[in-house]
Amino acid sequence: MTQDIQTLAEPAAEPRKVFIKTYGCQMNVYDSSRMADALAAEGYEPTENVDEASLVLLNTCHIREKAADKVYSALGRLREMKKTRTAEGKEFTIGVAGCVAQAEGEEIIRREPGVDIVIGPQTYHRLPAALKQVRTGRRVVDTEYAVEDKFEHLPDPKKVAGRPRMVTAFLTVQEGCDKFCTFCVVPYTRGSEVSRPLAQILREAEKLVANGVKEITLLGQNVNAWHGEDEKGRPMGLGDLLYRLAEVPGIARLRYTTSHPRDMDDRLIEAHRDLRLLMPYLHLPVQAGSDRILKAMNRRHKAADYTALIDRIRTARPDIALSGDFIVGFPGETDADFEATMRLVETIGYAQAFSFKYSTRPGTPGAELTDQVPEEVKTERLARLQELLLKQQHDFARSLVGKTMDILLEKPGRMDGQMIGRSPWLQSVNVDAKTLQIGDIIHVRITDTGPNSLFAEVAQG
């Protein structure tokens, strides 16, 4: 006689969830995405709710002092959360990644004993191994520059449960910088310039397209310093890379950032002339308009070199729009130096720009300079510069009213039936598109402008 035995299944363990907070630049956004890929292979699901997370990662920026202050403030709040979770018998791991991690290392553990992992931007592929060590009671600081290629150890980018569909993506092709501008920490936190191999970049681009991506932005701390070799061993620069990526089926749009004027070569300018899928928008920081200040910053170009370069680029691609970075109040900056910056801005005309007051970063040559500009002077200069830049931004936006263009639909808008797309010049465009889908590229006519976006209607015919 046989007896039926009913087996009661054990309830499935709840999946671990990771909350990643990203500070700073597009490179950190990309790195956060790749960390999520690495953790997904270990069974972690992403969450936008920190209360659900068993692992919290702060992917940090060290460019400006306030960014680092925000990180320590967040760590203080997380410390209290960890006390509560530990008392409840729940797992709660805190990790700090990125440039603050690289710059401060063990100091983070000393200041915030609730932190379990400190991992630099060159070693985040080791996150799964670090987590295993944490579960044995260890705390991990891994900020050595990795000998191995981290990209070879990361899983291919893929669709991850819990992430919204993305039709645009970042793709890091270059890291680090050898320029050593005296205000900048990048050479110390990201290391020297390193370029990813051509085959590796093409493979990742193809994977992104397979996952539905239509627009790819190439990233690098100094992206136009990218160099490599083709299959026959011939040297290549960023312009050559863009021509090759333009041949990948499914890529509809290409962008790149951030560039240095000294590495803007003829082949890259030709790519802007020849490739219609290379968007007519260029972020090319100059930082200042005074030759004296540019020399003090170790930029190794003059204001006239920059304006001549812009003339060449605009000749090759007349519809290109410019974006830039500006620092006001660098040590020793006089009223005359600042006025030179204002004249340069008026000469170039920017569609968008980012401007900041100079803040000292420990370990940089600028921090050792004694001729610091008073804070109230920096504040007044920044206000004047931003007023001019904002006027130029609004003037450029208004110049597009009545014109038609293609936009890539990226996400739903706030209003029912509204979609938000991206113009060739990187502006958000609101359009009524009830029958269209995310990922569609549509032809629209611009009807109006808002403070930070455009409004459009689907163009007929």
In the chain, % of residues over pLDDT 70: 93
Determine the average pLDDT of the residues in 363-389. 95
Residue 434 is predicted with a pLDDT of 80
- Model confidence at 4, pLDDT cuts 50, 70, 90, reads very low
143 half-sphere exposure, CB direction, 13 A CA radius: 22
Q: Which CATH number fits domain 165-270: 3.30.750.210, 3.30.2180.10, 3.40.50.300, 3.40.50.720?
A: 3.30.750.210
Do 17-142 and 404-458 agree at the fold level? no
Does residue 116 carry a pLDDT above 80?
yes
Q: H or E segment at 22?
A: strand 17-22
Residue 430 known to bind ligand: no
> At 364, is the secondary structure helix, strand, or coil?
coil
Closest CA to 267 of 230, 295, 239: 239
pLDDT of residue 7: 42
User: How does residue 186 score in pLDDT terms, banded at 50, 70 and 90?
Assistant: confident
Cβ contacts of 345-348, under 8 Å, gap ≥ 24: 345/289, 345/385, 345/388, 345/389, 345/392, 346/388, 347/307, 348/307, 348/310, 348/322, 348/324
Beta strand pairing call for 321-328 and 281-283:
parallel
**E strand spans, 227-351:** 227-229, 235-237, 253-257, 281-283, 321-328
| Phi, psi (deg, nearest 5) at residue 115 | -75, 135
The annotation status of 61 as a binding-site residue, yes or no, is yes
Residue 99 annotated as part of some ligand binding site: yes
Going by the DSSP 8-state scheme, the letter that residue 368 receives in this structure is: G
pLDDT of 103 reads 83
| Identity at 436, one-letter amino acid code | L
CATH topology of domain 404-458: OB fold (Dihydrolipoamide Acetyltransferase, E2P) (2.40.50)
Q: What kind of fold does domain 280-399 have according to CATH? A: Transcription Regulator spoIIAA (3.30.750)
Q: pLDDT tens-digit profile of 144-155?
A: 876 567 777 677
CB 219 within 8 A of CB 227: no
- pLDDT tens-place string over residues 216-260: 999 999 999 999 999 999 999 999 999 999 999 999 999 999 999
Closest CA to 423 of 207, 173, 215, 249: 215
Residue 184 marked as a ligand binder: yes
**What pLDDT, on the 0 to 100 scale, is given for residue 147?**
55
The closest of 186, 220, 179 to 201, measured between CA atoms, is: 220
Strands annotated E in 285-417? 321-328, 352-357, 404-412
Q: Are 190 and 221 in contact (CB under 8 A)?
A: yes
Q: Which CATH fold would you assign to the domain 17-142?
A: Rossmann fold (3.40.50)
Could you tell me the CA-to-CA distances from 370 to 78, 294, 343, 381 in Å, in that order? 37, 17, 27, 20
Q: Is 223 annotated as a binding residue?
A: no
Which residues touch 219 (CB under 8 Å, ≥6 apart)? 26, 27, 30, 170, 171, 172, 173, 174, 256, 257
pLDDT at 260: 96
Give the pLDDT band of residue 5 (cuts 50, 70, 90).
Answer: very low
Q: Provide the pLDDT for residue 61.
A: 84
pLDDT confidence bin for 158, thresholds 50/70/90:
low
Task: Please indicate if the annotation marks 181 as binding a ligand.
Answer: yes
